[in-house]
Structure 1
Amino acid sequence: MPLASAGSRLMFDAFWRAAAYCFRPRVMLLSVLPLIVMLVALGGWSYFFWSGTVATMQHWVETIGWLRTVFSWFGSSSTGGFAAGIAPFVVLILITPVAAVVALLVIALLMTPALVNMVTEQRFAQLAKKKGMGLVTSVLWALSTSAVAIVAFIVTMPLWLIPPLVLIVPPVIWGWLTYRVMSVDALADHASKAERDTLLQRHRWPLLLMGIISGYIGIAPSVVWASGMVFTIGFVVLIPIAVWIYAITFAFSSLWFIHFCLAALQQLRIENGEPGVPLPENHPVVLDKADGVLLPDAGEPK
């Protein structure tokens, strides 16, 4: 089977498996952990720095020369009112990518290991663990990759003012970050370094596409987040909802990468003649008795 065809099949198969897993009670409970961490972190940041950051941004907007010139054309000598209104949104735009990156790191540290164990028990119990990456190395990888993504977000922000590019540039950066972090985390326990490098090279385009799709899915919580800033009366409710949506969408993305990467690793070992359980031709839906929901797995013996 051509690699492109195999990658597409694995991608779609992993997609619907990840979607089904998101309805499992254990996944729903795990999604609360990043919610708690992010609420504490963002709440602390907002308490200490929100007012000062908005005031600094407002002062900066007021001092923009060309903006004052434009206002003078309309008979206004002050940009204070405009600056006061726009400053919170500018701060929001700047902090949202950072918050998203923090959410990804929290999920990588708290959720992904638990999700990997869950998928392994259900589908890949006989897949040997070669421990190609330790915890410290995994954390350093995630931090360094995230730092590169944050720099890319900052450098490309002027492009966000161009309508078509704002729908392309951020999701591509986010997609690259997602695939680089989640693929490595999904393979950390099971794949050797050589296997990991082979899989990331072989499936780099499907993985990048998965990351970009995950980036577009992540737009939904951003809309809720922005609504919380606009409708201040619902801020307390909307922002936690947005954070939880971030967590569950990231959980879906993580599960998508886990199913894809472990299935690809299993296929690679079959190709290399290593011991392993062949991928079944059909994937019947079975009942997970522990959770009481239907799941798309074929791991139980008949």
Structure 2
Amino acid sequence: MRLVPDLHYTEKISFKKVFLQTLKSIFYPEIILLLFLPLAISAVVVALLFLLMAGSLTSIYQAGLQTLTSGSAHSWFGSYFDWLAPAFPFIFILLLIAIAFPLIVVCNLFLTSILASSYLVKLIAKRDFPGLQPKGKARFVEGLLNSVVSVLIYLLAWIVTLPLWLIPGFQVALPVLLTAWLNRRICAFDALTDFASDAEFKQVYAETKNKSYLVGLITAGFNYVPLAFFISPVFTMVAFIYFHLAILQAKRSAASE
């Protein structure tokens, strides 16, 4: 079977169909049980982390407030800091949210990738892509390394862009853009690993970069939909599985023509 060098096969994939299938499939009994597990574990991990850091966070808050009101910085900048002191509690809470949000997103997606991705791929392939032949190989170590590296890059980018959270609108735009990138890096890899051959894996992963990022962008937006946040990691993984298995199926069909 020859591999198709052009991208015409990708045009056959409907985003509408992909997300309708995703919405339908998350109500499968086998998937419903997985929906809240990653979030529950992530919430416990992040809550314990903040609980362990409660003393340090209190000290940081008090030191910051003192600096704004009577510290050396106040003597340097004088009245310029007067307006900031009343807003400091809000800014501090915003900072905590800015720290907690990526931790929860990362934990959710990482746990879904490690604990459920292979199961979800096989389940969806059996139900909706019965004719798709698995040609992949075990890539657990590669997948784990990909997830760890992606998470580290994501967290580093988050830290670097934290000051931009003070700009109106960036509190939403930055998390969505960064999470879209993370979604694509982790979920696209997991979706293809069991069914794509080495050559197919490299081609599909590279050729669908933009469309795959769009899937990541749409699923990242679910973090801001009321209640959807709770099922976001599994929904994201399932959407990527449908998209990439459909792409792989279309590629093989085009290659056989």
Moved more, 212-221 or 141-150: 212-221
Contact residue 46 and residue 100 of structure 2 kept, 8 A: no
* Correspondence for 1:101 among 96, 102, 106: 106
* Correspondence for 2:43 among 32, 39, 45: 39
What stretches of structure 1 of length at least 5 have no aligned partner? 222-241, 275-302
Q: Structure 1 residues 69, 215: CA separation in 2 closer, same or farther (over 3 Å shift)?
A: farther
Q: Per-residue deviation at 1:173?
A: 1.4
* Correspondence for 1:21 among 1, 7, 25: 25
In the superposition, the TM-score normalised over structure 2's length comes to 0.83
Contact residue 133 and residue 192 of structure 1 kept, 8 A: no
Q: Per-residue deviation at 1:183?
A: 0.6
Q: Per-residue deviation at 1:43?
A: 3.0
Q: How does 1:87-98 map to 2 (within 5 A)?
A: 87-98=92-103
* Correspondence for 2:141 among 123, 136, 145: 136
Q: What's the Cα RMSD here? A: 2.8
Aligned to 2:132: 127
Q: Structure 1 residues 60, 212: CA separation in 2 closer, same or farther (over 3 Å shift)?
A: same
1:49 counterpart = 2:58: no
Moved more, 65-74 or 36-45: 65-74
Q: Per-residue deviation at 1:82?
A: 5.1
Q: Per-residue deviation at 1:40?
A: 2.7
Q: Distance in 2 between matches of 1:161 and 1:44?
A: 27
Q: How does 1:161-240 map to 2 (within 5 A)?
A: 161-220=166-225
Alignment length, in residue pairs? 247
Give the letter aligned to residue 250 of structure 2: Q
In the superposition, the TM-score normalised over structure 1's length comes to 0.72
Could you say which structure has the greater relative contact order, defined with CA pairs below 8 angstroms and 6 or more residues apart?
2
Q: Distance in 1 between matches of 2:77 and 2:29?
A: 55
Q: 1:48-74, CA deviations, whole angstroms, 9 ceiling, x for partnerless residues? A: 123422432442354253697347657
Contact residue 129 and residue 189 of structure 1 kept, 8 A: yes
Give the letter aligned to residue 166 of structure 2: L
Q: Percent identity?
A: 25
Q: Distance in 2 between matches of 1:132 and 1:62?
A: 58
1:256 counterpart = 2:256: no
Contact residue 181 and residue 216 of structure 2 kept, 8 A: yes
Q: Which has the higher helix share?
A: 2
Give the letter aligned to residue 40 of structure 1: V
Q: Distance in 1 between matches of 2:122 and 2:150?
A: 24
Give the letter aligned to residue 234 of structure 2: A
Contact residue 196 and residue 248 of structure 2 kept, 8 A: yes
What stretches of structure 2 of length at least 5 have no aligned partner? 1-5
Which runs of structure 1 show a deviation greater than 6 angstroms over 4 or more consecutive aligned residues?
none
